[in-house]
Amino acid sequence: AQTVTQSQPEMSVQEAETVTLSCTYDTSENNYYLFWYKQPPSRQMILVIRQEAYKQQNATENRFSVNFQKAAKSFSLKISDSQLGDTAMYFCAFMTTYNNDMRFGAGTRLTVKP
């Protein structure tokens, strides 16, 4: 079974600075998808960024980028120029290509301080 581990339960960063959230996963599959979801206090789950395992290029979405290390099974999220609105729980998630069973890590609570 696939597992996703987020080793940082809580993190904080000063506004305008950069922060990196860690995620590792365990799988025997070669093709899969990786995701970062954001959950603000509103409870809504919002997709931040998505990476296909077959792509070597790291995904980027504006201030959000990932460092995907397939051999190390690592998928970290970098948030640049942090904003107060980035305060939220962040979940790393994994999905195989042969079924639709998405598995989540336990989450990292990020606080952006003014």
Interface with another protein by CB under 8 A: which residues?
Answer: 4, 6, 9, 33, 35, 42-45, 47, 50, 91, 93, 95, 97, 99-107
Tally of CB atoms within 10 A around 19: 20
- In the complex, minimum distance from the CB of residue 68 to another protein, in angstroms, rounded to a whole number: 16
- Pairing of the two strands 10-14 and 108-113: parallel
Residue among 82 and 108 whose Cβ is closer to another protein: 108
- In the complex, minimum distance from the CB of residue 66 to another protein, in angstroms, rounded to a whole number: 14
Residue among 98 and 114 whose Cβ is closer to another protein: 98
Residue among 19 and 23 whose Cβ is closer to another protein: 23
Distance CA 85, CA 38 (A): 11
- In the complex, minimum distance from the CB of residue 44 to another protein, in angstroms, rounded to a whole number: 6
Both tokens assigned to 6: 């987020």
- Nearest CA to 79 out of 14, 1, 10 is that of 14
Residue among 99 and 114 whose Cβ is closer to another protein: 99
Q: How far is CA 33 from CA 45, 97, 112, in A?
A: 17, 7, 28
- In the complex, minimum distance from the CB of residue 7 to another protein, in angstroms, rounded to a whole number: 13
